[in-house]
Chains A and B, each alone.
Chain A
Amino acid sequence: DADVTQTPRNRITKTGKRIMLECSQTKGHDRMYWYRQDPGLGLRLIYYSFDVKDINKGEISDGYSVSRQAQAKFSLSLESAIPNQTALYFCATSDSSGLRYNEQFFGPGTRLTVL
């Protein structure tokens, strides 16, 4: 099955460390997104990319950076992790063509803990 995968699934790190979260998809979708989920706050958009050369900041991009290495790969980096970046992170994809273009498909999530 075409899928969205995230690595790692769980990560514990220390304040100040650089962390990279990776997302890969086999759906052939052109658009990819990074969200973080915090209890009571729902999902908030960090960055999104409509194609390899188009990357945009979301509502909470401070402290994060991204790289779209290929259509199928979208990585999220925390240059210097801090405890309030402890959260569940989701990658999502969507297809700009066809009738399902406004539906997003989510990966299983990465649980990040910053000590």
Chain B
Amino acid sequence: AQSVTQLGSHVSVSEGALVLLRCNYSSSVPPYLFWYVQYPNQGLQLLLKYTTGATLVKGINGFEAEFKKSETSFHLTKPSAHMSDAAEYFCAVSSGGYQKVTFGTGTKLQVIP
């Protein structure tokens, strides 16, 4: 079984401030982990993913995430928020080779000017 917990359904940050979106996962096998972003009236697009290897993963638009096995976490960060980062962010986990993906409930990021 696999699951994802995203802490905080809404997060507000000031423009230029650090963005931290939290994600914890549960998986019975080594997981693949993803962060997707959804802009208003659009589908989801991949920000970054962890499969194997380096635990610090860099994605698009300056985002990065670190896989911490001991904490079962995969938190998303960005050093300096931009207004265009306002969107909903989904963490997801996949276990095993058949690619069934379980999504978290999402975190809406608001960026305050």
The residues of A with any CB-CB pair to B shorter than 8 Å are 4, 31, 35, 40-45, 48, 50, 90, 92, 94, 96, 101-104, 106-109
The residues of B with any CB-CB pair to A shorter than 8 Å are 9, 32, 34, 36, 41-46, 49, 51, 90, 94, 98-101, 103-106
Q: Is the beta-carbon distance between A42 and B103 smaller than 8 angstroms? A: yes
Q: Is the beta-carbon distance between A31 and B99 smaller than 8 angstroms? A: yes
Q: Is the beta-carbon distance between B99 and A108 smaller than 8 angstroms? A: no
Q: Is the beta-carbon distance between A102 and B44 smaller than 8 angstroms? A: no
Nearest CB of chain A from residue B112's CB, rounded to whole Å: 22
Q: Which 5 A-B pairs have the closest CB atoms?
A: A106-B43, A42-B105, A43-B103, A106-B44, A42-B103
Q: Is the beta-carbon distance between A104 and B43 smaller than 8 angstroms? A: no
Nearest CB of chain B from residue A94's CB, rounded to whole Å: 6
Q: Is the beta-carbon distance between A40 and B43 smaller than 8 angstroms? A: no
Q: Is the beta-carbon distance between A103 and B103 smaller than 8 angstroms? A: no
CA distance A40 to B6 in the complex (A): 11
Q: Is the beta-carbon distance between B44 and A103 smaller than 8 angstroms? A: no
